[in-house]
Chains A and B, each alone.
Chain A
Amino acid sequence: WLAKNPEAVGCKRDGQSIFRELALFQDYHGLPAFKKALVDFMAEIRGNKVSFEPNNIVLTAGATSANETLMFCLAEHGDAFLLPTPYYPGFDRDLKWRTGVQIVPIHCTSSNCFRITASAIEEAYQQAQKKNLTVKGILITNPSNPLGTTMTRPELNLLINFITDKQIHLISDEIYSGTVFNSPSFISIMEALKDMNMEKNNRVHIVYSLSKDLGLPGFRVGAIYSNDPTVVSAAVKMSSFGLVSSQTQYLLSVMLSDKKFRNHYIVKNQNRLLKRQRKLVSGLEKSGIRCLESNAGLFCWVDMRHLLSSDTFEAEMELWERIIYDVKLNISPGSSCHCNEPGWFRVCFANMSEDALELAMQRLKSFVGSIKKHNHQESEKLRKESHIGKWIFRLSFQSFNEQDQR
């Protein structure tokens, strides 16, 4: 697209240089053309089932800044936000560091594919109360990082009902909304609200960014969307601390206003992500490793519980260190995402070439093979060394393996 649109992005319009205007433009309301293009893009990602008002959008320096800004607007030092686990490790910095806000986890488990349940939310809320923390809201990431799944309608409705009942906020970080490559289709919080006739709800706010959907993290383009004019007003003033470069706003306003490009990009992106995800999933399967079934994101949530020496986080760390230093794959341990079950890892699949992914799968296969071989040898050794014999011998690692692969 850039190669075909030289004038548009050479800081020119109708042959005239607009460099000067851009260099001077520091209005925190943002370039109107860019905001319009951005909301159109956001609507299209949501199948045009919802629409967004450009005046309700606040531009920020990435989603990092958007999330922090919302904390500053919605909570006091010492207040809490509930977050379903596992969650993006960066939240520990973005939501808590300079704001003094606490995170209380809503624990989700593999027993129901990490779906959010009413009892889990209630429990988290009670936990916060016990610690004398005022809960100001819930923050979800939908599609989820690190799970790679989109939220179901029952989950969304559950959340909306809960926050309405408790009169607290709901922030939906939809940074991965354009990466949904398979069914079920993405249901944004706006759509869920619309279907409940609560479209103008002023306690629900969306965070967005072009870092994942367009692959432009370097450009630092984030956004807050809110129906509450006071939130928009406060957030827009705070955006002074991290505005989007006017040069970047201009480039993207032209790019995203190109409807044909937008549509084409969204579709192509999703197709390629699907292909990649399948490659990862099948590659892992060959090593006897399963993933949580996912339809979005740039990663899979991988189940390596059966490779742990014990059902503990220490064992998870041990395994992780071996994968980093011996297998030489950088993947993220579930504990860093505050998962309460050891053995899960987030593995990204989009940020490398196909060949590199292929190589990664081969390395993993060898590694898993070597574990199995080692365990078999260990168990043989132990058997031979046992004086008493097989019947008092503890289950071998291999048996443990077989048991676990449900």
Chain B
Amino acid sequence: MEFTRKNRQLLSRIATNDRHGENSPYFDGWKAYDSNPFHPIHNPDGVIQMGLAENPLCFDLSEKWIRENPDASICTAEGLNKFKDIAIYQDYHGLREFREAVAKFMGRVGGNRVTFDPNRIVMSGGATGANETAIFCLADPGDAFLVPSPYYAGFARDLRWRTGVEIVPVHCRSSNNFRITRAALEEAYEKAQRSNINIKGIIITNPSNPLGTVLDKETLRSLVSFVTDKKIHLVSDEIYAATVFSSPRFISVAEVMQDMDCNRDLIHIVYSLSKDMGFPGFRVGIVYSFNDDVTNCARKMSSFGLVSSQTQFLLASMLSDDEFVGNFLRESSKRLAKRHHVFTKGLEEVGISTIKSNAGLFFWMDMRPLLKEQTTKAETELWRVIINKVKLNVSPGSSFNCSEPGWFRVCFANMDDKTVEVALDRIREFVLQGKEENNHEADKSQARAQPWRKQNLRLSFSSSRLYDESLMSPHMISPHSPIPHSPLVRART
């Protein structure tokens, strides 16, 4: 205790509080995976990682391009003459070619219905850095942002930790497919006002993480008009824009603004290449604001997280290659669609439904029928069983601040086809086993049947000790650990 108290005085509150959010259950699954990772040959009984929204499906295309374009690298014989200029280049405006290429790419991803201005492209340390920068520019400590739930678990850190800004969730429900309604926004806004909470804006993720759905034009227009009325900001995190694999198409807030009466100074976009291109390691985040002051401020702040000039140079070349980009976007959609279909069909066969989705690297799975009771506690119990017995790291809805227990986010893109099969087999087995045990119990006591348990998929727990204590101890791993058998990672903290 003495040490902790002393430590707190020696270090800042930020350094010693929990607002980085890494002690949330979202990351416990990683810890389980990290200590027992699945490998088809070396560890076939290990935990399969289904909590990591990564997109490696089209690496073969990127690798081919790199092989065929050695002058895009400043380290090859062909590109070496550029090394000096690039290595020195630290201008926070970013390489002009890079900004132009990114603006063009963003336009293409939006179906070329919008043209993005390269001079508004501001760099940041991934979308993580972009979201934090946007908040620093738009709000003061103690202010708040409305965030429709369920939302990305990392927002707790990115929007709040160092900025001192709060999140006020706008709870969306399955009864209307988690749509964001004007009524819900108004209610959340009024409630905040009454509690003297100063709402500075709304952050949406479109396509949605964790739902995997896109916002329709009507909802987008409603959001834009809402913020214009209330004179607050709208930040649209469009990091999954190019992961849309079937209709309806992706509509950027930029498109909707074009034929609307609105205050453009309130609209800002966050983008990144981490999901669409599968390049999280390259740390390419973008803040795109229609507000000049915000653009200028964010640009100055980008000093704290510029994109490596080596990476800017490579991507400037890659993303200007129209043929490559066109092919990449088409193939990516195709492969995501296929993967998504394999999973959702497999789940349907055992009676597990998912939210109808057409984007993202995951689906939102409905496990409510398997809950003992409709509580977060029951959800957490189920989740621990899924991690420890079924050996799948999926993410519980509570870690996304979902107001309804029983939903889980399951990532489907970050594994190979064989692992997909293994994962599906495990789920099938688990569900069918549950059915058998239920039938056995139902024979014994019919009075306990409840209306929502349509398929009698109640779980039975054979072990009272549902989780390993050691997994709960704080462990110094990153929320985004790489595949452990990667030769890049040898040391572990």
Query: Which residues on A are within 8 Å of B, measured CB to CB?
Result: 2-3, 6, 9-11, 13, 17-29, 31-33, 54-55, 61-62, 64-65, 68, 72-77, 93-94, 98, 167, 169, 203, 211, 215-220, 228, 230-231, 233-235, 237-238, 240-248, 251
Contacts and interface: CB of A to CB of B under 8 A. Distances in A.
B310 interface: yes
Q: How large is the interface on B (under 10, 10 to 19, 20 to 34, 35 or more residues)?
A: 35 or more
Contact of A245 (B158, B303, B310, B491): B310
Given A73-B12, A237-B22, A230 B7 contact: yes
Given A98-B136, A218-B86, 10 more contacts: A25-B482, A25-B488, A27-B481, A28-B478, A55-B493, A62-B303, A93-B303, A231-B15, A233-B476, A240-B157
A65 B305 contact: yes
B217 interface: no
B56 A98 contact: no
A44 to B, nearest CB: 20
A218 B56 contact: no
B488 to A, nearest CB: 5
Nearest to A210: B87
Nearest to A31: B488
B90 A220 contact: yes
B11 A230 contact: yes
Contacts of B477: 29
Interface of B: 7, 10-16, 20, 22, 54, 56, 59, 62-63, 66-67, 70, 73, 75-77, 80, 83, 86-90, 125-126, 128-129, 132, 136, 141, 157-158, 161-162, 274, 278-283, 300-301, 303-311, 314, 476-478, 480-483, 486-491, 493
Nearest to B310: A248
B488 A247 contact: no
B88 A218 contact: yes
10 interchain residue pairs of minimum CB distance: A218-B309, A246-B281, A242-B305, A9-B75, A245-B308, A242-B125, A234-B15, A217-B90, A32-B491, A73-B15
Contact of A20 (B13, B56, B490): B56
Nearest to A14: B487
B75 A21 contact: no
Given A98-B162, A216-B87, A241-B128, A26 B308 contact: no
Contacts of B83: 2
17 contacts: A6-B75, A21-B482, A24-B56, A26-B126, A27-B478, A32-B488, A61-B305, A72-B162, A93-B300, A94-B303, A98-B304, A218-B310, A220-B306, A240-B125, A241-B132, A246-B282, A246-B283
B488 A33 contact: yes
Nearest to A34: B488
Nearest to B54: A24
Nearest to B52: A24
Given A20-B59, A21-B482, A25-B281, A241 B129 contact: yes
A55 B486 CA distance: 19
Interface centre among A75, A167, A243 (most CB of B within 10 A): A243
Nearest to B128: A240
Contact of A234 (B16, B279, B487, B493): B16
Contact of B62 (A9, A19, A231): A19
Contacts of A76: 12-13
Nearest to B476: A233
Contacts of A28: 478, 480
Contacts of B63: 17, 19-20
B493 A29 contact: yes
A137 B201 CA distance: 36
Nearest to A16: B487
